[in-house]
Homo-oligomer: A and B are copies of this chain.
Amino acid sequence: MKKVFLFAAAFGSLLTAQAQLQPSKMTPESSEIWSPVPRIVTPGGMSNAVSGFTAPSDAIVLFDGKNLDKWQATNGAAPAWTVADGAMTVTPRAGDIQTKQEFGDFQLHIEWRAPSEVKGNGQGRGNSGIFMQGVYELQVLDSYNNRTYSNGQAGSIYKQTMPLVNATKGPGEWQTYDVVYTAPRFNKDGQILIPAYITVIHNGVLIQNHTQIQGTTPYVGRPTIQPHGRGPIKLQDHGNPTSFRNIWIREL
């Protein structure tokens, strides 16, 4: 605090001049947070004979393992991801895909799998993402023995809030996200009146508890506020052949 003050005092006139400028271009690293490192939790296995993960009766099944009928490319074209063995898999450079239907407040179940063949590291390993209303990214990444910035690891609200713990399973294993999301409410000035909140359970372990979403989740730059209405579930092509299956959503 003290140092900041002295710096500000010493360069007061310079600061004043700078403050009139538009912000300079940020680098991607500007919005990385590396500390603390969420501690590792090994998820449990499956309990016998209980319910829980396939679609309840009031859910909209977004992907049942057979086809991408509920999905499209972000430009409206047919989605160019592959479907095989009950899973959909990113075709690198085919682009993001999103649901045709748009949603407000919801519960979402989704399962994902990082490639069993480990390639790359940091953000380059098993990277994908799930965007609430097409805007707010819940990170998908192979964060098993793969250090990156904490607010960019699996289960983070990308470049905002790191997960409480790291409950990631190994590459090639199916993982679950159970998400509860309530959409932001904007006022007529375009400001947030009621923020968006998200709760995430990863492989049965709580990693986000009613976390307030601060705004957009850009790769470069700060969260910003952009009023919007309903939006799709969007899945990211980040160049890695990450897979998804058993996706369903319940409108709240």
Contact = CB atoms under 8 A, between A and B. Distances in A.
B2 A95 contact: yes
A246 B49 CA distance: 12
A209 B4 contact: no
Contacts of A57: 40-43
Interface in A171-192: 174-176, 178, 180, 182, 185, 187-191
Interface string A1-29: 11011011100110110111111101111
Copies in the complex: 4
A44 B55 contact: yes
B246 A47 contact: yes
Nearest to A35: B224
Contacts of A189: 36, 38-39, 164-165
B34 A23 contact: yes
Interface string A205-236: 11001101010001110101100000000101
A194 interface: yes
Closest 8 CB pairs of A and B: A19-B122, A44-B54, A16-B124, A52-B204, A47-B53, A42-B57, A43-B51, A51-B203
